[in-house]
Amino acid sequence: MCVSCPFNSVSTGNNSQKCDDCSNETYSNDANTQCLPKVPDIFDYNSKTAVALSVLCILGSTASVASGLMFYWKRDTPLVMASSKTHSYAIAAALALGFQTVFFYIGYPTDISCKLKSIVAGLHVTFIISVFCAKLYIIRKLFNANVVTSSKKWFYKSWFAVCILTCLHFIYNIIYESLDPSEVVKDFSYIRILPVFCKTSDTKFLTVSIFQLILSTVCSIFSFRARLLPKRFQDTRLLWFIMFTMCIMLCISTSAHFLLGSSTRTQTIDSIFILVLNYLILVMYYIPKLYIIFFKPIRNTRPIFMNKFYNRKSIKQN
């Protein structure tokens, strides 16, 4: 007769007086006669949530590319020109790529995918916030009559600032990844399941979140200071709402990250956060402009813009 074995150990031989422990990746059956493999708990395409997020990623990328192409098609209209064509194209491209980063969170993780995710994580968000800050700065300068002749100088300076901020984030990711490489982690604390996920650094996540929160706050201040621009020029109001909402989302995302810790649930939350943020920018920045371009073309005429612009200047001078 076999001895009664404790939990997670088995006795396989007749009249055996010895119990063998199951490995970390297995667990004992109810009779303690066999070690069964734990079921991997990963955020993969067997989950309906992952499939739904993948579909939303593809739709978001397609909508971003379509918005950029529509802006290019209508690039000579006053609304698109007033929105800074180059900045709008760059935001659309960053959104299209940003939607694709969600796929790094879906599927069985590997060391390579973990490293790539660590390097590109949050880059498109930093780039978009930097573009918004540069865009708002140029808008305030261009609506000031005494710097019209220097518009190109401010334009090049704004893109230089965008490149510097984005490169700082990218270099930080590279340095941190070289010092603390990302790798696949397996959580053996569960009985029947085996969570598999990428190791994330709380220090890196907090540093990047604070950096993006500072940029969002600066951008919100720029938006608030530019709130008195012509009513037909709605960019500043929309950007203020986007930046204000982004600040709230960054605070919520940071809190959720530290509350949940590193787990497959964290990957799901991060994926949802990226999608919500990207769709917020896509809907709030492009949809109102595309609505005016295609359904209210009378508002997309030069006399309307110039009339509002000169009315504001006359009021300011008085």
238/117 same-domain check: yes
The domain in which residue 247 lies consists of: 41-296
Using alpha carbons, select from 193, 266, 263 the residue that is nearest to residue 40.
193
Q: Are residues 32 and 85 in the same domain?
A: no
Give Cα 231 distance to the centre of its chain: 30
- Domain assignment of residue 73, yes or no: yes
Same-domain check for residues 33 and 155: no
161: Cα within 13 Å, side-chain hemisphere: 18
Residue written as token pair 């990207």: 278
**Same domain flag for 90 and 193:** yes
Quick one: average pLDDT of 173-184? 87
- Percent of the residues in the chain that have a pLDDT greater than 70, as a whole number: 82
Evaluated on CA atoms 190, 195, 200, 206, the torsion sign reads negative
Whole-angstrom distance, CA of residue 103 vs CA of residue 54 = 7
pLDDT tens digits along 270-290: 888 899 999 999 998 888 888
Q: Which tokens sit at 165?
A: 């901020």
d(CA 157, CA 119): 26
Same domain, 129 and 251: yes
Closest to 220 measured CA to CA, from 253, 254, 250, 255: 250
Name the nearest CA neighbour of 130 among 176, 99, 94: 94
Query: How far apart are the C-alpha atoms of 124 and 68, rounded to whole Å?
Result: 16
Its pTM stands at 0.82
Q: What is the mean pLDDT of the chain?
A: 80
Running DSSP on this structure, what letter comes out for residue 263?
S
- How high is the pLDDT of residue 144? 60
Looking at the structure of the chain, the number of domains it has is 2
pLDDT for 7-66, tens place per residue? 777 776 666 667 778 888 888 887 777 888 888 888 888 888 889 999 999 999 999 999
Do 241 and 121 fall into the same domain?
yes
Residue 306: the pLDDT is 54
Count other C-beta atoms under 10 Å from residue 83's C-beta: 20
| Kind of pairing between the strands at 20-21 and 9-10 | antiparallel
* pLDDT > 60? residue 97: yes
pLDDT at 73 over 50: yes
* pLDDT tens digits, one per residue of 181-234: 888 888 888 888 888 888 877 888 888 889 988 988 888 887 777 666 554 455
Same domain, 165 and 26: no
Backbone angles phi, psi at 121, to 5 degrees: -60, 125
Q: What is the pLDDT of residues 139-160, one digit of tens each?
A: 776 666 454 455 566 677 778 8
The answer to whether position 4 is within a domain reads no
**H or E segment to which residue 8 belongs:** none
- 52, 157, 43, 46: which is closest to 104 by C-alpha? 43
Are 154 and 209 part of one and the same domain? yes
Can you list the alpha helix ranges (DSSP code H) found in the chain? 48-73, 78-82, 85-100, 111-120, 123-142, 151-179, 202-225, 235-260, 264-281, 287-295, 302-317
- Alpha-carbon distances, residue 292 vs 99, 229, 233 (angstroms): 25, 18, 12
The CATH number linked to 280 is 1.20.1070.10
Nearest-angstrom CA–CA distance, 76 and 81:
6
Structure tokens belonging to residue 156: 């090049």
Please check the confidence at residue 247 and state whether its pLDDT lies above 90.
no
309 within a domain of the structure (yes/no): no
